[in-house]
Structure 1
Amino acid sequence: MAAAGAEARGAWCVPCLVSLDTLQELCRKEKLTCKSIGITKRNLNNYEVEYLCDYKVEKDMEYYLVKWKGWPDSTNTWEPLQNLKCPLLLQQFSNDKHNYLSQVKKGKAITLKENHRALKPALAEYIVKKAKQRIALQRWQDELNRRKNHKGMIFVENTVDLEGPPSDFYYINEYKPAPGISLVNEATFGCSCTDCFFEKCCPAEAGVLLAYNKNQQIKIPPGTPIYECNSRCQCGPDCPNRIVQKGTQYSLCIFRTSNGCGWGVKTLVKIRRRSFVMEYVGEVITSEEAERRGQLYDNKGITYLFDLDYESDEFTVDAARYGNVSHFVNHSCDPNLQVFNVFIDNLDTRLPRIALFSTRTINAGEELTFDYQMKGSGDISSDSVDHSPAKKRARTVCKCGAVTCRGYLN
Structure 2
Amino acid sequence: MAEHLKDCHVPCKMSWDEVETVCRLEALRCKELGVSRTNVKDYEVEFICDYKRVKEEEFYLVKWRGFAMAENTWEPKDNMKCRKLMKLFHLDLDKELRRHKRRAVPRRLDKEISSFLVQKARLRQSLERWQAHLNQTRNHPGRIFVINDMAVGCECTNCLEDPVDGCCPGASLHRLAYNEKQQLRVRAGQPIYECNSRCRCRPDCPNRVVQRGIQFDLCIFRTENGRGWGVRTLQHINKNTFVMEYIGEIITNEEAEKRGREYDSQGSTYLFDLDYVEDVYTVDAAHYGNISHFVNHSCNPNLQVFNVFIDNIDERLPRIALFSTRGICAGEELTFDYKMQIDPVDLDNSRLDSITLAEQPISPKSSPKKRLRVECRCGSSSCRKYLF
With normalisation by structure 2, the TM-score equals: 0.55
Match of 1:256 among 222, 247, 264: 222
Q: Secondary structure at the match of 1:201?
A: helix
**What is the rounded CA distance, in whole Å, between the counterparts of 1:248 and 1:303 in structure 2?**
24
**Contact persistence 2:273–2:367 (CA under 8 A):** no
1:336 is aligned to: 302
Check 1:213–1:388 CA distance in 2 against 1; reply closer, same or farther (3 A cut): closer
Q: Offset at 1:340?
A: 0.1
Q: Offset at 1:189?
A: 0.7
Residue 311 of structure 2 is aligned to residue 325 of structure 1: no
Q: Secondary structure at the match of 1:291?
A: helix
The AA in structure 2 aligned to 1:344 is I
2:156 is aligned to: 193
Q: Structure 1: where are the runs of 5+ without partners?
A: 12-178, 380-386
Q: Secondary structure at the match of 1:403?
A: coil
For each residue in 1:289-335, what CA deviation from the matched residue of structure 2 results, as whole angstroms up to 9, or x when unmatched? Answer: 11111111122111311100000000010101111000000000100
Q: Offset at 1:338?
A: 0.3
For each residue in 1:272-302, what CA deviation from the matched residue of structure 2 results, as whole angstroms up to 9, or x when unmatched? Answer: 0100000000011111111111111122111
Q: Secondary structure at the match of 1:327?
A: helix
What does 1:268-287 correspond to in 2, within 5 Å? Answer: 268-287=234-253
Q: Secondary structure at the match of 2:160?
A: coil
Check 1:392–1:298 CA distance in 2 against 1; reply closer, same or farther (3 A cut): closer
What does 1:165-204 correspond to in 2, within 5 Å? Answer: 188-198=151-161, 199=163, 200-204=166-170
Residue 367 of structure 2 is aligned to residue 408 of structure 1: no
2:372 is aligned to: 394
Check 1:278–1:390 CA distance in 2 against 1; reply closer, same or farther (3 A cut): closer
Check 1:378–1:363 CA distance in 2 against 1; reply closer, same or farther (3 A cut): farther
The AA in structure 1 aligned to 2:252 is T
What does 1:277-316 correspond to in 2, within 5 Å? Answer: 277-316=243-282
Q: Offset at 1:392?
A: 7.2
Structure 1 runs of 4+ aligned residues shifted over 3 Å read 5-11, 185-188, 387-392
**Contact persistence 2:238–2:326 (CA under 8 A):** yes
For each residue in 1:196-217, what CA deviation from the matched residue of structure 2 results, as whole angstroms up to 9, or x when unmatched? Answer: 0021200111111100011110
Residue 231 of structure 2 is aligned to residue 265 of structure 1: yes
Check 1:356–1:8 CA distance in 2 against 1; reply closer, same or farther (3 A cut): farther
Check 1:326–1:253 CA distance in 2 against 1; reply closer, same or farther (3 A cut): same
**Contact persistence 2:270–2:369 (CA under 8 A):** no
**Contact persistence 1:223–1:378 (CA under 8 A):** yes
**What is the rounded CA distance, in whole Å, between the counterparts of 1:274 and 1:341 in structure 2?**
14
**Contact persistence 1:287–1:390 (CA under 8 A):** no
Q: Offset at 1:394?
A: 2.7
Q: Secondary structure at the match of 2:154?
A: coil
What does 1:2-401 correspond to in 2, within 5 Å? Answer: 7=13, 188-198=151-161, 199=163, 200-374=166-340, 377=342, 391=369, 393-401=371-379
**Contact persistence 1:285–1:318 (CA under 8 A):** yes
Q: Secondary structure at the match of 2:250?
A: strand
**What is the rounded CA distance, in whole Å, between the counterparts of 1:265 and 1:392 in structure 2?**
20
Q: Offset at 1:188?
A: 3.8
**Contact persistence 1:310–1:341 (CA under 8 A):** yes
Aligned length: 227
Q: Secondary structure at the match of 2:211?
A: helix
Q: Structure 2: where are the runs of 5+ without partners?
A: 1-10, 18-132, 135-147, 345-364
The AA in structure 2 aligned to 1:340 is F
